[in-house]
Structure formats: structure tokens, C-alpha cells
Amino acid sequence: MLETIDKFDQTLFLILNNFHVDWLDATMWFISGKKEWIPFYLLIVVVLFRKYGWYGFAVLAAVGVAVLFTDQFSSGFCKPFFERLRPSHNPDLIDQVYILNNYRGGKYGFISSHAANSFGIATILYCVLRYQLTYSWVLFLWAGVVSYSRIYLGVHYPGDILAGTAAGIFLGWVTFLLLKKALSNTSGYRLLFTDR
């Protein structure tokens, strides 16, 4: 059963990874970066403080905790535990993988830290901002594009992305619940968690 799932995952990966065009290379490289998103994160900080004042600090702290949870779970636990080679390191696939800028990532790829972290951030921010911003669901679209870029670059299987997505959503939701509990007896509770 696991062998069948793994084979399907590899086949789907090769289809998605080999569907590339030259003009998308630079775009996917940019999307997959970390420093490139600093202006986006600064925009989120501005939105949080404009909407919630000093309670924006509490939300930012919760986002930090969510990233800590997702990153430690994905990179600190899952990758060394499962030891599943990335497609860019798999000797059976290496000749078929489209790799950009000779970037191969670390040796192991299950689960995707990019997917876990971006979906963790998207989940907690969506849960907080959904009452105030109509288009807060776009955060999930952002997380999905970031996650897909990892397949495009040849460093993750779709299964790595799906598992990372699930972990990110779950841990982001848990962190949101912890934030609600921490603010339950404050004036920020109504400000952050109710449809005013």
C-alpha cells in the first residue's frame, strides 16, 4: 500500500515538476525565497496594528509561536524521523527532475517546512482577520503558491506538500486557540475574535 502511494506521489511529482516554462523559473525562485517576502510580512504587521492597536503584538507573538511549532515539527521531527529523500536527492529520479539554479535543498523532504510554515501563518492570520478583512482567504492562496513552488523547483513531492499543509493548518489552528485562551479575560478578546 505505502509503495503504491509512494509511486503515485513520484509520478504526480514528475508531471508537475516537468510542467515548466522559462519565464516562470525566476518567478518560482522568487516565490520560494524567504527574504523576498519581508515586504509582505511588514504589510501584515501594519494591518495588524491598524486594526488591533497594541493587541497586534499578541497576534504577532502567536504567529511566531505557530512558525516555531510548524518548523520544529517539520524540520526537527518529521524529516529526521521519516528520512524520505527529496526528489532532488533520489538516485532513481535524479535524471528526470527539473532542478533550477542547481538548488537541491537538504537531503530529506518529508514534510515540507515551506508548506507547514506558510499554512500555519495563513491559518492563524485568517482566523484573526476574517472578521475584519473580506479577502483574508487570500492568505491560503499565497500559502498554496509558495508550497507549489517547491514542487516546481524539484525539492518536494506533492505528498510532502499535502502533509506539510495539514500540519500547518492544524498547528496554526491550535496556536489560534491558545491565543484566544490567553486573551479570554481581556478587552482584546471582543476586538479580535468577534464579528463587531
Q: CB of 176 within 8 A of CB of 31? A: no
Residue 1 lies in a domain: no
Count structural domains, the chain. 1
pLDDT of residue 193: 75
pTM of the model: 0.93
Residue 174 lies in a domain: yes
Q: Convert the pLDDT of each residue in 16-25 to its tens digit.
A: 999 888 889 9
Q: Convert the pLDDT of each residue in 93-117 to its tens digit.
A: 989 999 988 899 999 999 999 999 9
Count the neighbouring beta carbons within 10 Å of the beta carbon of residue 147: 26
Is the Cα dihedral 112, 148, 6, 10 positive or negative? negative
Residue 2 lies in a domain: no
pLDDT of residue 31: 94
pLDDT of residue 1: 66
pLDDT of residue 195: 62
pLDDT of residue 141: 97
Residue 5 lies in a domain: no
The CATH number covering residue 158 comes to: 1.20.144
Contacts of 109 (CB under 8 A, 6+ apart): 79, 84, 85, 86, 87, 89, 155, 156, 157, 160
Q: Which residues of the chain have pLDDT under 70?
A: 1, 195-196
